[in-house]
């Protein structure tokens, strides 16, 4: 079946603009995660959705970052008033139920460049 998909694959924006990144998880997966991979910082957790529960936002770096998940499927990560330090690859992952034993499957990522 189809894996996790993300769009766009690349996004170049100017400092101060808002951007939206999209993630389509594997069908039937109830858990969805956003991570960020930047030079010098490695791969870091941003936010986690599990079913209808309140999301775990503990990894969001500032209030300029927000995410939503509509209908328990597609998720959108929004970055407002982008800064150059937001440049990174944003990775989305999904797992079957978010259980401790579940494997997380990753999408190809969105490379964001803020000029």
Partner 1 sequence: KQEVTQIPAALSVPEGENLVLNCSFTDSAIYNLQWFRQDPGKGLTSLLLIQSSQREQTSGRLNASLDKSSGRSTLYIAASQPGDSATYLCAVKGSARQLTFGSGTQLTVLP
Write out the residues near partner 1 by the rule CB under 8 A. 4, 31, 33, 35, 42-45, 48, 50, 56, 58-59, 91, 93, 98, 100-101, 103-109, 111
Here the tokens at position 9 are 């694959």
Q: Quote the least distance from Cβ 108 to partner 1, whole Å.
A: 4
Nearer to partner 1, 66 or 106 (CB): 106
Q: What would you report as the CA-atom Rg of the chain, rounded to the nearest whole angstrom? A: 13
- Give all strands (DSSP E) within 2-114, no chain letters: 5-7, 10-13, 19-24, 31-38, 42-50, 65-69, 75-79, 88-95, 105-106, 110-114
Q: Quote the least distance from Cβ 53 to partner 1, whole Å.
A: 11
Cα–Cα nearest to 67, from 53, 82, 57, 52: 57
Nearer to partner 1, 45 or 66 (CB): 45
Q: Quote the least distance from Cβ 84 to partner 1, whole Å.
A: 21
Nearer to partner 1, 17 or 43 (CB): 43
């Amino acid at each position: 079946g189809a894996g996790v998909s993300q769009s766009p694959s690349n996004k170049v924006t100017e400092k101060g603009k808002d951007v939206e990144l999209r993630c389509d998880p594997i069908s039937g997966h109830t858990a969805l995660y956003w991570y960020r991979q930047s030079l010098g910082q490695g791969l870091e957790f941003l936010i986690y959705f599990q079913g209808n529960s309140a999301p775990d936002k503990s990894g969001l770096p500032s209030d300029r970052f927000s995410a939503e998940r509509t209908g328990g499927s597609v998720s959108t990560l929004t970055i407002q008033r982008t800064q150059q330090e937001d440049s990174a690859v944003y990775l989305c992952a999904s797992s079957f139920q978010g259980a401790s034993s579940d494997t997380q499957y990753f999408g190809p990522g969105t490379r964001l460049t803020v000029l």
